[in-house]
Chain A
Amino acid sequence: MTSLLLFGAAEGGLFDFDATLPLMAVQVVLLTFILNALFFKPVGRVVEERENYVTSSRAEAKKKLAEVEQLESDLKNQLKEARQAAQKVINDAEEDSEKLYREALALATSEANASREEARKEIDSQRDSALTQLKSDADKLGELIVERLLAAK
């Protein structure tokens, strides 16, 4: 009967210590070594390899990103310089054309002024001569009138 075995019997029971204990301990220690060889070492190696791979590729990517940024800023600088050079050329050309325009304008203005001056002088001299002519004519006419009046008397 079960209870016969359980109660106070030399055999069996819940707290029945025997050679199971040391053998189980040995078995667990063996299992530790077996699992270390079969599981912990290989899996650890793979996991750590991957971690290294991830770290190194991340570092590499970072380096490449930095390189790309460097290149980008270089290109930006070049572009800026080119743009500045082009602007300068444009400015120069504009200045040149402005200068040419001004010179031409100045020349034309001075020529026009000169010819206008000449014309005025001509007009003045003609007017002067016309005035003197007129004056002498008026004098002559006056004398004539005086003579006629005197003669009529």
Chain B
Amino acid sequence: MGSLPFFLPFAELEVGQHLYWQIGNLRIHGQVFMTSWLLIGALLTLVVVGTKKMERDPQGVQNLLEFLWDYIRDLARTQIGEKVYRDWMPFIGTLFLFIFVSNWGGALVPWRLIELPSGELGAPTADINTTVALALLVSLSYFYAGLSNKGLRYFEYYVHPTPIMLPFKIVEDFTKPLSLSFRLFGNILADELVVAVLVFLVPLILPVPVMFLGLFTSAIQALIFATLAAYYIGEAVEEHH
């Protein structure tokens, strides 16, 4: 492998490097778990503080939590439908909150100041493992939702308007998690890369609007992931007539 001069600036970004932890004979990406634990800790702290003393007249953090709860309920109710949305609301909400906190945490916290022996800290959702894990969970949950709600009649969905749809629906089962995971991964990684490249090229001012754009896309991506997950579940439990 020859030396590639045009990669030298990118070497600063350390794309695709990981801090490996060895557990038994399993290897995991340490930096992903470190940031995700910190962010989950922050999320749980917020939740615990907000729900500690709840009153009928909401105050402070309780307002925020109730707004989030209402938002998630509306999302789940519109996509999944009135009948079973209650069962799936925590899952959809957790997806939304986890992805949102991960994206914003990765964009807002200056992780780069912390030196790691290898790799660097960043949004957990910028790692393909995380996004694929989330997407596979969504796949499993819509299968489970369909099977538990309709039993074997769930498979009618595959031949729903006509049996010609069968191959397409089967392919869809594979493309759904693929597009879900790659959309999230690509967006977050692209945000991080664009900001990093701009910071490298022009360290002052210029990256700021791009950072705001990144925050915006991060939030939208969390919303899209949760909406699509809810939509898939809703599609699986929907009754055909």
- Answer yes or no: A and B touching, Cβ < 8 Å: yes
Is B90 in contact with A40, judged by CB distance below 8 angstroms?
Answer: yes
Q: B210 within 8 Å of A by Cβ?
A: no
Q: Enumerate chain B interface residues (CB-CB to A < 8 A).
A: 1, 3-4, 7, 10-11, 14-18, 23, 26-29, 32-33, 36, 40, 44, 47-48, 50-51, 54-56, 58, 62, 65-66, 69-70, 73, 89-91, 93-95, 97-98, 124, 127-130, 132-134, 136-137, 189
Judging by beta carbons under 8 Å apart, are A19 and B28 in contact? yes
Beta-carbon nearest neighbor of B91 in chain A? A32
Q: How many residues of A contact B (CB 8 A)?
A: 42
Residues of A within 8 A of B (CB): 1-8, 12-25, 27-29, 31-36, 38-40, 42-44, 46-47, 49-50, 53
The smallest beta-carbon distance between A144 and chain B, in angstroms, is: 135
A46:B54 contact, CB within 8 angstroms: yes
Q: Which residues of A contact B132 (CB under 8 A)?
A: 17, 21
A-B contacts counted at CB < 8 A amount to 136
A6 to B137, CA, bound (A): 29
Secondary structure of the A contact surface, majority rule:
helix
B32 to A20, Cβ gap below 8 A?
Answer: yes
Other than the known A2-B7, A8-B1, A18-B129, what 19 A-B pairs have Cβ atoms closer than 8 Å?
A: A3-B7, A12-B18, A14-B128, A18-B28, A20-B129, A21-B132, A21-B136, A25-B136, A28-B95, A28-B98, A28-B134, A31-B94, A31-B98, A33-B90, A35-B47, A35-B93, A35-B94, A43-B54, A47-B69
